[in-house]
Amino acid sequence: MILRAKHIDLSTGNILVAVLSQEDATKLDVRGSDRIRIVYDGFEVIASVDVSKKGVKTGEIGLFIETFDKLGIKAGQTVKVFLEDKPKSIATIKKKLLGEKLSKDEIYTLIKEVVRDELTDVELAYFVSACAAHELTMEETCNLTKAMVDFGTRLDLGNGKIVDKHSTGGVPNNRTTMLIVPIVAAAGLTMPKTSSRAITSPAGTADTMEVLAPVMHPVNKIKEIIRKTNACIIWGGAMDLAAADDKMIRVRYPLSLDPEGLILSSIMAKKAAVGSKYVLIDIPLGKDTKVDTKEKAERLKKKFMHLGKELGMKVQVMISDGNQPIGCGIGPALEAKDVLYILKGDKRGPSDLKKKAIYMAGLILKMAKVGDEKTATKILESGLAYEKMREIIREQGGDPDINPDDIIIGKHSYTVKAETTGKIIDINNNNVAKIARIAGAPFDKGAGMQIYVKEGGKVRKGDKLFTVYAESAKKLDFTLEVFNKFPVVNVK
């Protein structure tokens, strides 16, 4: 069938979609979500079908932005359209929904089709749900991880001592990466840190680093940054590392589904893609974190170590206290200030964040046999880590002389004070994140929250508990309206 292309100026989130009129769909004998092959000037794509009764006329084919761009076509030009079989992975997804084990070939085909955008979000969501209902075996998880690496971008940095770290998350701030990277890089190790942006938190490492320097660079530029500094702190999404995982994260988010097999493969595929030889995994354990029981933490620990061995990595796993925020600032600009205060040796740097970062850096140095916690302490307190961070900031295109006091935070603020004298018995991580996000973080870099207390500490009536910052008065007003729904600090 020959149809005339109509441009539909809407994005589908990288899924290839084409729209047919009811009459043309009947002629081709296709229904919604069936597949068609679209051919134009030597290029072809496989797209999922939507059927429209009014939006597309007979003889037209509506192409969403991604499909339109992939074909390199102009509106009004004609394409050839053929009926196409559904992706092979539909049968694989059905198989997992029934609780059956998937073969290596089935998993590899699935990931290949995910990367090629041949599966819809609905189909991917079914796969994620199947993995939540029927846990992946370690063999399936290993195959899934290797497939993600094989069908994604790799960063070839040679055979040096390449190290990495990851936290399973759930703790506001916890910005250890931005301290660990300059410490271990100053010790001579290579640390190509690809970090995430926030999904449900007030800031991801990439959001915070972006306050200091750009985090989106092409692969060749990243290699140059690492060659000059031994390290980088960039947004992993810009590199297409484990691209299939990024697509699955998108469909996991609405229902907050985190099947263990997908968590493991997500983290470890990205470590393998940059050639990591030594990896430290931090599992924060707490009532409000992603890992809320000791049993789950220990189970994940064993699986991380097993998977690391399968991938040829030396993996160490630590289970840390995740019951309250680490650091003082919550939100990109406030977290960046915390990091720079510590690197510069300023007394305003939060001691808990400094202590955890030194401990973790020491573990990495020990794994790579180039030092220990004392080495990490010396590198940080001597200023070597700060100088290394300045190099990284400069090479990534930022201002190496940026002063933490010059970082702009939201000009609209409200401070909450203790209504009674007592002890801090709880700081709710989830509510801290919610309030900071309602205030505008992470999209408004200067929005967030400054926390002045820690669990177990004592306060007097009238002492400051925390301050909320927003970049607009309207957002601050809205934040204040919902305060009572999300209590942050409990004093008794």
Give 237's pLDDT tier (boundaries 50, 70, 90).
Answer: confident
- Contact (CB, 8 A) for 292 and 166: no
Give 169's pLDDT tier (boundaries 50, 70, 90).
Answer: confident
- d(CA 351, CA 367) in angstroms, rounded, equals 24
Average pLDDT over residues 160-189: 95
Enumerate the active-site residues: 258
Q: Considering the chain, what is the average pLDDT of its residues?
A: 93
- d(CA 354, CA 417) in angstroms, rounded, equals 26
Q: Distances in Å between the alpha carbon of 442 and those of 222, 374, 406, 418?
A: 24, 34, 19, 27
Taken in order 220, 222, 226, 228, the sign of the CA dihedral is: positive
- d(CA 62, CA 49) in angstroms, rounded, equals 10
Lowest mean pLDDT of 187-196, 252-261, 312-321, 480-489, name the range. Answer: 252-261
Nearest Cα neighbor of 319 from 305, 309, 307 is 305
Q: Structural domain boundaries of the chain?
A: 2-84, 89-134, 163-237+257-395, 409-491
Amino acid at 237: G
Give 298's pLDDT tier (boundaries 50, 70, 90).
Answer: very high
| Strand pairing report for 60-64 and 2-8 | parallel
Spell out the residues 6+ positions from residue 83 whose beta carbon is closer than 8 angstroms to its own: 28, 29, 30, 34, 35, 36, 37
- Contact (CB, 8 A) for 231 and 392: yes
pTM of this structure? 0.88
Average pLDDT over residues 229-258: 82
**pLDDT above 80: residue 310:** yes
Give 35's pLDDT tier (boundaries 50, 70, 90).
Answer: very high
- d(CA 399, CA 389) in angstroms, rounded, equals 11
Tell me yes or no: is domain 163-237+257-395 CATH 3.40.1160.10: no
Q: What is the pLDDT of residue 248?
A: 85
- Contact (CB, 8 A) for 177 and 193: yes
Q: What is the pLDDT of residue 121?
A: 84
CATH number of 2-84: 2.40.40.20
Lowest mean pLDDT of 31-35, 223-227, 264-268, 488-492, name the range. Answer: 31-35
pLDDT tens digit string along 214-230? 999 998 999 999 999 99
Spell out the residues 6+ positions from residue 54 whose beta carbon is closer than 8 angstroms to its own: none
Phi-psi region of 100 (alpha: psi -120 to 50; beta: other; left: phi over 0): beta
pLDDT tens digit string along 340-396? 999 999 999 999 999 999 999 999 999 999 999 999 999 999 999 999 999 999 999
CATH number of 409-491: 3.90.1170.30
Q: What is the pLDDT of residue 154?
A: 87
In the chain, % of residues over pLDDT 70: 99
**pLDDT above 80: residue 253:** no
**pLDDT above 80: residue 462:** yes
Angle between helical axes of 219-229 and 384-395 (0-180°, round to 10): 150
Give 313's pLDDT tier (boundaries 50, 70, 90).
Answer: very high
**pLDDT above 80: residue 199:** no
**pLDDT above 90: residue 255:** no
Q: What is the pLDDT of residue 243?
A: 79
Q: What is the pLDDT of residue 116?
A: 86
In the chain, % of residues over pLDDT 90: 81
